[in-house]
Structure 1
Amino acid sequence: MFKSLKEKLKNVSKKFGSHIDDVIEKESTEMVQESTPVTSQIETETVPAQQEPKEPSETSFKVLPETESPKKPKFSEKIKVLIKEHEILLSEKDISEPLDELEIILLENDVAFDAVDSIINHMREDLIGKKRKIRTSSEDFVIEALKNALLDVLGEGFSLTNYIDTHEKPVKVLFTGVNGAGKTTTIAKVAHFLKSNGYSVVIGSGDTFRAGANEQMRTHAERIGVKVISHQEGADPSAVLFDAVSYAKAHNIDVVLADTAGRFHNRANLMNQLDKIKRVMQPDIVTYVDEAVAGNDAVIRAEEFNNTVGTDTVVLTKADMDTKGGAAISITHTIKKPIMFLGVGQGYDDVIPFEPERLVNELLGAEN
């Protein structure tokens, strides 16, 4: 997962660390040179002709006191690298080149511009003008700063199980998204995940528009052993999901997972239908589903859906096929809503709760 981005972040972190090492070595040399005392100078004085010399020779020699070279601005004032008690202080100039390279890498891997800008600014604030202890190596120093920057962009994530445990049941989750993003399969995976963790689930088959959607959902439900509520093809999806919620209440079901037809934000009739579904079902969580491999397109669509109908959480499918990772890094920063799950394969077990720190550690090769 995110193989291309992981390799490039690893390489740029090494180069970034080496760059800092070079700066430290250069400034260490300069400090040593500047601290070397100036040797005593000898001044020759010529004795005036009319004055008798004090010594037999015509000239006398006087040893002048040691003098100091002109004072230069302190390193702290110059905001240069300071090495004192295993601390360093970096300037903008010292890290501008590797930051530019990092920016290009992130953009090439489909990280949205605003997210890239936030990461670079966070790195700049974390590294410039602040004394930081060097515990192991400059590369680790850079990785720590990059980790903090990525975590700041990714946010805290969202635990569905924690939400269920702390809210009135049934918890109602409405899934939205564009055509072909994998909503139906994702719902089956999430249902399997919840059932495996001890929660009771009912599925509302609200995609009454797509031919075969009901059959597909029923097949999934039978395989994972959960109840599905459905109406005939072409029925009002609001009525289907109302019945699903009613069933859950009557049977003390913990969670309702509601499917909807895929739609684009610019289809006014379908978006109005989604508004009606929300009014009738009154979901606790609206989840936007899209493909991680869509990159910046997924980020743009998520923003449009959020602006049109609202979004609480995001699920990214096909994360296992995504070498770049741009969507996963960018979506939460762009719409200010957390990722809930990542789809990482074809099996029902292939959905994992999104844990930002775990993802960042994987990207940077850091220990959990």
Structure 2
Amino acid sequence: MFGKIKEKLSRLAEKLSTLIETREISEKELADILEEFKLDLIESDVAYDVAERIAELLKQKLAGSRIPRTENVQVIVRKAFADILRSMLMDPPNISWEIRRKCEKGEPYILMVMGVNGVGKTTSIAKLASYLKEQGISVLLVAADTFRAGAQEQLVKHAEAIGVPVIRAKYGSDPAAVAFDAIQHAKKRKYCVIIIDTAGRMHTDQDLMAELKKISRVIKPDFKLLVIDALTGNDAVEQARVFNEQVGVDGFFLTKTDADAKGGSGISVSLTTGRPIVFVGTGQRYSDIVMFSKEWLIEKIVGSNA
């Protein structure tokens, strides 16, 4: 992941190095090079306005300082890019800590998971449940997807594989009622976290989005997690925007990052909505889940010394 952005960043530094070796770089030359870098970012699935902001901030950082010919331009450019990402991105909340804090009060933490069809939502729920279970947190899964044939069986199969209980209902049942009843069960049985699997839906389907808003109003989740497929490209930004405007999003679970060489969509969904990436799926196994941090992403793009 982020291989394309890493490659484009190296190319930017090489162009600057070539000019600096012969003479002092002019402001216009820097602007032209950064304009090309902005287009490179857009080709790497970074949203246009995000790419424009990054290029402008790089211009401010690099134009405001003279780069001696003896300096390693690669290091300077990478550090400037890393500083920009640190200033723009958000670190996620510590979900495990928030769950434990609410559990100590005798209440289950309600986590509602959303996403369009085919993003890997149910598998991501299983990864998250396994991740929390390994930390000693009692987890209850809820199959509130009462629409898609086979959806509940899929979640049950994952639940059995990782050893956590799951509540299911008849297909055609009201998903809001299913989720509400499951929360009452979780309270009685003293589960610390209840993870609710909602039906996948296109963000353009107004009826299904209205249903999701109803579920949210009924259960009042502590956290609304939107699953985003890293391979989706710029459509991921539109998904994030619509879900956030219509239902509300507290954070993102980014999937299929092991197959995504670009990585720009992951950065863009966070920066365009002002919501953090919380978890990243890095492979096919249940253990292939990483809690996101700014430094994790920066290391992937520019290395550990930036």
TM, length-normalised to structure 1: 0.77
Confirm or deny: 8 A CA contact 1:208 1:214 kept in the other structure. Answer: yes
1:1-368 alignment, distance < 5 Å? 1-19=1-19, 21-22=20-21, 26-27=23-24, 92-93=27-28, 95-130=30-65, 137-167=72-102, 169-367=107-305
Rounded to whole Å, the distance in 2 between the matches of 1:259 and 1:137 is 50
Deviation at 1:163, TM superposition (A): 2.7
Q: Which has the higher contact order (CA 8 A, sep 6+)?
A: 2
Which is further off, 204-213 or 94-103? 94-103
Identity %: 41
Tell me, what secondary structure is at the counterpart of 2:113? Answer: strand
Q: CA offsets, 1:78-100, max 9 Å, x none?
A: xxxxxxxxxxxx86335223312
Closer/same/farther in 2, CA of residues 129 and 270 from structure 1, 3 Å limit: same
Rounded to whole Å, the distance in 2 between the matches of 1:15 and 1:201 is 52
Rounded to whole Å, the distance in 2 between the matches of 1:131 and 1:199 is 53
Confirm or deny: 8 A CA contact 2:34 2:55 kept in the other structure. Answer: yes
Closer/same/farther in 2, CA of residues 295 and 154 from structure 1, 3 Å limit: farther
Structure 1: unaligned runs, 5 residues or longer: 28-89
Larger Rg: 1
Structure 2: unaligned runs, 5 residues or longer: none
Tell me, what secondary structure is at the counterpart of 1:188? Answer: helix
Q: Which amino acid aligns with 2:23?
A: K
Q: Which amino acid aligns with 2:286?
A: Y
Q: Which amino acid aligns with 1:104?
A: L
Deviation at 1:12, TM superposition (A): 2.2
Closer/same/farther in 2, CA of residues 248 and 122 from structure 1, 3 Å limit: same
Q: CA offsets, 1:175-203, max 9 Å, x none?
A: 11111111111101100011112211101
Confirm or deny: 8 A CA contact 1:293 1:318 kept in the other structure. Answer: yes
Q: Whose helix proportion is higher, 1 or 2?
A: 2
Runs of 4+, deviation exceeding 4 Å: 130-136
Report the aligned-residue RMSD.
Answer: 2.2
TM, length-normalised to structure 2: 0.92
Closer/same/farther in 2, CA of residues 114 and 162 from structure 1, 3 Å limit: farther
Deviation at 1:166, TM superposition (A): 4.1
Deviation at 1:130, TM superposition (A): 4.6
Deviation at 1:235, TM superposition (A): 0.9
Count how many residue pairs are aligned between Structure 1 and Structure 2: 303
